[in-house]
Amino acid sequence: MTLLETIRGPRDLDALSKEQFEQLAAEIREYLVVNVARTGGHLGPNLGVVELTLAMHRVFDSPHDAIVFDTGHQSYVHKLLTGRQDFSALRQTDGLAGYPQRAESEHDIVESSHASSSLSWADGISRAFTMTGQRDRSVVAVVGDGALTGGMTWEALNNISDDNNRRLIIVVNDNGRSYAPTIGGMARFLNTVRTRESYRSLYLTSRQAFDRLGGPGRALYRGMRGGLHGFLSRFTNNEALYSNLDIKYIGPVDGHDSQALIEALEQAKNYGAPVIVHAITEKGRGYAPALRDVADQFHAVGQIDPDTGESLETSGATSWTSVFGDRLVELAAGNERIVGITAAMLRPTGLHRMAERFPARVIDVGIAEQHAATSAAGLAFGGMHPVVAIYATFINRAFDQVLMDVALHKAGVTFVLDRAGVTGPDGPSHHGVWDLAILQVVPGIRLAAPRDATRLEEELTEAVAVDDGPTVLRFPKGNVGVEFAAVRRTDDGVDVLRESTEKDVLIVTVGPMASVGLEVAERLAAQGIGATVVDPRWVVPVPHSVVDFSAEHRIVVCIEDGIRVGGIGTRIRQDLREAGVDTAVTEVGLPDEFLDHGARADILERTGMTPQHIARDVMGMVLGSKLPHARGVSADTGPTQLTARSPE
C-alpha cells in the first residue's frame, strides 16, 4: 500500500513526518500524471499545488475551516486528500468532476470555475462566521495569480481590508500563469518578487548564518522563519503591492517547501485578522513534459502518453478555433482597423495566430471580461474594429458592458464566442448555453451561428464589416464537421438546406444543429411527413424569409444548442405573432438547468436533443397527439383526421 492510499481524510496528515510529506508529494504527482493522462484534465496547475494543498490541509481543519479554490481546476490534490482517490472517470459521465462539487464532498464549497470570485466568497463566509459567533473557524481562499487580474478580486480586497477582524487567509498561488503567462501590472510586480536578487540574497544569507550554529540554530531559524519572511519582504519592498490594503503580508514563501508553507500558514491562522500568504509555485512541477511545454505547461490536456506527454488523440480534423484564428489573420491583413482582444485566453481562443502576425494589434486584458467589452467600445469610438474572443460561458460576466457600453453607443464590436453549447467534461460553469438567451435582448445586436467552417469564415467576414452596433459569432468546442451546402439562399441570407413540396414541417436550425435538423427531416420523410430545413445563418434579428417560410408550413421546429427559455425558438414565435402568422412553434433546446459534466453525446441524449427523440415528438405534433398541434388540427377536425402519409 502506498502512503497516498492510507490518506482517507485531511487529519491523516497530522502524524506524517517531514520525510513522509515529501514521499506523499511525490506519490501524488505520480498519481496525477498517470491518471490524468488516461482521462485528460487540468494537469499542470495541480502538479504545481501539491505541497501547498498538503500544507493547507495540515494547518487548517476542513470542513470546519472553509477552503475556497479560485479557480477550481487546481483542486485535484484537494480531492485526493479528502477521500476521493478514484480518478478513473475524471470529468466523464458519473465520474468525479474536474472542479469542486458539493455533491461529492462536504469539503467542497464553491463549484463555479469562473475566476476571481473566491475573495468575495471568503469575505461573505468569514463575515457569517463572525456574525454567528464562530470565531474559531478560518476561511482560506486559494487564489491563482491569474485571478488577481479580475476586478472582482480588488472589489473584495477593498471590503476585506475595511473590516479586518476576521480569520481570513488569502493564499496567492503565484506561478506566473493562468492559462498562459499572467498579463498586466500585477503580473509584472510579482515577476520582480520572484526574481529579486536582494530577497534571495538575504534569504540565503540568513539561512546560512543560522545553519552555522548547528541543530539549535536551525531550530531557531525554523521558529523565526514566518517573521523572517515578513522582514525580508518589507526590506525588499515586496509588501508594496498590498501596502494600502491594511492586510498583513507573509511571503514570498517557497510553494514547494512543505515545512516553510506550514509555518507561514500557522502564523497566518493565528494572526486573527486577514492575511495574504504569497506562495511561489511552479506550474507542471515534477513532470518534464509539462515544464517543456512553452504554451501553457500542460494547463489542460487530453489523453496523453504519461511517459512522454505526447498526445494520444490522433484526429487530424480541423478545429472551429483554428478556422476562426486563420480567417481573422486573413481579414486583419486586409483591414488595419481590426484589433483582437482576449481575456487571458490568447491560445485557447485562437487569437495567438493574429498575435504572432500582428503583435501590436492584439490585447490580452487578463481575466477581465467586463473591461474587455468596455475597452472594445472605446477602441471602436477611436476608429478601430475590435474582435473580442472569449468562451461563450464567460460572456455572461460582461453582459452589462455589452448592453450599456457597446450596444447603447452603437459601437462596432464583434464578439466571438468559442465553446458555445454543450461543452462536456468541464461541467455546469463551462457549458456555453446561455449566450443566445442573454444576448438577444440587447437592442440592435446581431447574432450569427455558423453551421460549418465555410459559414464561419463567411459570417466572420460579414461581422467585422458592421460598424453601427455589436455583432456576435458563436461556435462549439471541438472539430468542425462536414460541410452542408445550401439548396439555395434567400435574398436576406437564409440558407435552405432541404426543401420539400409538402409543407408540413419547417425546421429552423441554429449553427451546427443543422446536422440534427437534416436527420430529423429524413426520419420524418420516411413517415410521409414533408420537412423543409433552413439555416438562418444570422439568427438575430430573425430574417423575414423565416417568417415567410413559417407562414407556408403547418408547424415550425427550432433546434438550438442553447437553453429553450428565451432562446431563438422563442424569438421566432414572437416575431410570427407580431407578423400575424398563426403557425405553431416548438422550441427544441436545452432545459433551464445546470448540466452536469460528462460526454456531450450523453448530455444530449439525456436532454432529448437527439434526432430520434426530436423526430418522434414532431411526428406526434403533426398527427395531433402531442402539443403544440400542427396547423390543421383543431377541436373540429380532431387529431384522427390527420394521418402520416405512406412512404412512396
Long-range contacts of range 320-323, CB-CB < 8 Å, 24 or more positions apart? 320/418, 320/453, 320/456, 320/475, 320/476, 320/477, 320/478, 320/479, 320/480, 321/348, 321/349, 321/350, 321/418, 322/350, 323/453, 323/456, 323/457, 323/480
Name 90's Cβ contacts closer than 8 Å, sequence gap at least 6.
Answer: 35, 36, 39, 40, 41, 96, 98
User: Quick check: is 397 catalytic?
Assistant: yes
CB 377 within 8 Å of CB 331: no
How far is the C-alpha of 232 from the C-alpha of 222, rounded, in Å?
Answer: 15
User: Quick check: is 29 catalytic?
Assistant: no
The kind and range of the H/E element at 209 are helix 197-211
3-state secondary structure 270-309: HHCCCEEEEEECCCCCCCHHHHHCCCCCCCCECCECCCCC
Q: In this structure, what C-alpha cell is assigned to residue 496? A: 435552405
Which neighbouring-strand residues pair with 416?
389, 473
The DSSP annotation for 12-46 comes to: GGTT--HHHHHHHHHHHHHHHHHHHHHH-B--HHH
How far is the C-alpha of 96 from the C-alpha of 85, rounded, in Å?
Answer: 9
Q: Which of 60, 51, 1 is nearest to 28 (CA)?
A: 51
How far is the C-alpha of 556 from the C-alpha of 578, rounded, in Å?
Answer: 16
Which neighbouring-strand residues pair with 473?
416, 448
Q: What are φ and ψ of residue 375, in 5° steps?
A: -60, -35
How far is the C-alpha of 366 from the C-alpha of 342, rounded, in Å?
Answer: 8
How far is the C-alpha of 157 from the C-alpha of 146, rounded, in Å?
Answer: 15
Q: In this structure, what C-alpha cell is assigned to residue 250? A: 507573509
The neighbour count for residue 184, using CB atoms within 10 Å, is 16
Name 140's Cβ contacts closer than 8 Å, sequence gap at least 6.
Answer: 56, 60, 65, 66, 67, 68, 122, 169, 171
Pairing of strands 531-535, 385-391: unpaired
Of the residues 79, 166, 248, 283, which is catalytic?
283
How far is the C-alpha of 267 from the C-alpha of 226, rounded, in Å?
Answer: 7
Of the residues 167, 285, 361, 397, which is catalytic?
397
The neighbour count for residue 617, using CB atoms within 10 Å, is 16
- Do you find a cis peptide bond into 541, omega within 30 degrees of 0? yes
User: Quick check: is 593 catalytic?
Assistant: no
How far is the C-alpha of 466 from the C-alpha of 461, rounded, in Å?
Answer: 9
Q: Which of 14, 137, 7, 144 is nearest to 81 (CA)?
A: 7
Of the residues 51, 239, 369, 560, which is catalytic?
369
Name 122's Cβ contacts closer than 8 Å, sequence gap at least 6.
Answer: 66, 68, 139, 140, 141, 156, 160, 168, 170
How far is the C-alpha of 217 from the C-alpha of 234, rounded, in Å?
Answer: 23
CB 36 within 8 Å of CB 301: yes
By annotation, the residues acting in catalysis are 283, 369, 397
